[in-house]
Structure 1
Amino acid sequence: MKFKIFLVFILFASCTAGDDSDVSVVDTTIQTTSTTAIESESTTTTEAVISYVFDIEKMSPLTGKEIPPELWLNRPKRVIAFKIDNNINARPQSGLQEADSVYEILVEGGMTRFLALFLDNTSKYLGPIRSARPTDPTVIRPFDATLVVSGATDGLIPSIRELGVPVLEEVNSPAMFRIGSRKAPHNLYADTELVRGVIDSKGYKFLQPGPNPLYPFGFDQTNWESGANKITIKYSEYTTVIWKKDGEKYSRFIIDAYSSDKEAVAHNFISQDGNYSDILSTESIVVIQGALYKDKATTLPSILTVGIGDLFIFNNGKYTQGTWRRTDITEPFEFYDINQNPIEVPPSSQWIHIVPNEGQISWSNS
Structure 2
Amino acid sequence: MRFALTTFLAFTLLLGGCDVQPKDVSAVGIPSATPFQPGLENGSDSLYADSAPTPLNLPTLTPAPPTPTPVLILPETLPDEVDVPAFTLPTNLNPLTGLPPSDPALLERRPMAIKVANYPRYIRPQSGLTLADQVFEYYIEGGLTRNIAIFYGNDSDWVGPVRSGRFFDENIARMYQAYLVFKFADPRVLSYFETTDIADFLVVPTNGSCPPFRLMTTRQIEVYNNSYFNTLLWDGCIAENGLRNDRPAIRNGFFSDTVLQSADLPGTKVYTYYSDYSYNYWEYVPGTGEYVRYQETDDMRNGKEEKYEPLMDNVTSEQVHAANVVVLFAYHTFANPFNQEDEVYNIDLTGSGEAYVFRDGEAFVARWYRTNKNQPLLLAGMNGTPINMRPGITFYEVIGTNSFASQGDGEWFFHHATP
**Which bracket does the TM-score occupy, shorter chain normalised?**
0.7 to 0.9
Q: Select between 179-188 and 257-266 the one with higher mean Cα deviation.
A: 257-266
CA distance 1:250–1:12, shift in 2 (3 Å): closer
Q: Is the 8 A contact 1:147 1:167 kept in 2?
A: yes
Mapping for residues 151-162 of structure 1, pairs under 5 Å: 151-162=184-195
Out of 241, 244, 250, the residue aligned to residue 212 of structure 1 is 250
Deviation, structure 1 residue 55:
5.5
Deviations 1:21-79 (A, max 9, x none): xxxxxxxxxx99xxxxxxxxxxxxxxxxxxxx9663311121122346xx334644210
Does 1:345 pair with 2:389?
Answer: yes
Deviations 1:130-167 (A, max 9, x none): 00000011133122100011101114234224443311
CA distance 1:75–1:216, shift in 2 (3 Å): closer
In 1, Cα distance between equivalents of 2:148 and 2:97: 15
Q: Is the 8 A contact 1:232 1:361 kept in 2?
A: no
Does 1:10 pair with 2:68?
Answer: no
Deviation, structure 1 residue 184:
3.2
Does 1:238 pair with 2:238?
Answer: no
In 2, Cα distance between equivalents of 1:120 and 1:224: 29
Does 1:193 pair with 2:232?
Answer: yes
Alignment correspondent of 1:250: 291
Deviation, structure 1 residue 341:
2.7
Deviations 1:68-101 (A, max 9, x none): 6xx3346442100110111023211111122122
Alignment correspondent of 1:92: 125
Deviation, structure 1 residue 358:
3.1
Deviation, structure 1 residue 124:
1.3
CA distance 1:284–1:223, shift in 2 (3 Å): same
Secondary structure at 1:115 match in 2: strand
Deviation, structure 1 residue 234:
2.1
User: Runs of 5+ in structure 2 lacking a partner?
Assistant: 1-69, 76-82, 412-419
Q: Select between 226-235 and 338-347 the one with higher mean Cα deviation.
A: 338-347
CA distance 1:230–1:329, shift in 2 (3 Å): same
Alignment correspondent of 2:44: none
Alignment correspondent of 2:100: 66
Q: Normalising to structure 2: TM-score of the pair? A: 0.67
CA distance 1:82–1:131, shift in 2 (3 Å): same
Alignment correspondent of 1:266: 309
Q: Is the 8 A contact 1:142 1:331 kept in 2?
A: yes
Alignment correspondent of 2:168: 135
Alignment correspondent of 1:313: 357
In 2, Cα distance between equivalents of 1:360 and 1:161: 36
* Equivalent residue letter for 1:347: P
Deviation, structure 1 residue 305:
0.8
Deviation, structure 1 residue 119:
1.1
Alignment correspondent of 1:46: none
Does 1:170 pair with 2:213?
Answer: no
Out of 358, 363, 366, the residue aligned to residue 402 of structure 2 is 358
Deviations 1:205-260 (A, max 9, x none): 4553x441485434553222451111112223432220011231111112365489
CA distance 1:277–1:75, shift in 2 (3 Å): closer
In 2, Cα distance between equivalents of 1:357 and 1:256: 27
In 1, Cα distance between equivalents of 2:175 and 2:339: 23
Across the two proteins, how many residue pairs are aligned to each other? 317
Deviation, structure 1 residue 287:
1.5
Q: Normalising to structure 1: TM-score of the pair? A: 0.76
CA distance 1:207–1:336, shift in 2 (3 Å): farther
Q: Is the 8 A contact 1:85 1:113 kept in 2?
A: yes
In 2, Cα distance between equivalents of 1:262 and 1:136: 33
Deviation, structure 1 residue 172:
3.0
* Equivalent residue letter for 2:228: Y
Does 1:290 pair with 2:322?
Answer: no
Higher helix fraction (1 or 2): 2
Higher strand fraction (1 or 2): 1
Deviation, structure 1 residue 185:
1.8
Secondary structure at 1:157 match in 2: helix
Deviation, structure 1 residue 109:
1.1
CA distance 1:74–1:101, shift in 2 (3 Å): closer
Bigger Rg over Cα: 2
Q: Give the percent of matched residue pairs that are identical in Structure 1 and Structure 2.
A: 23
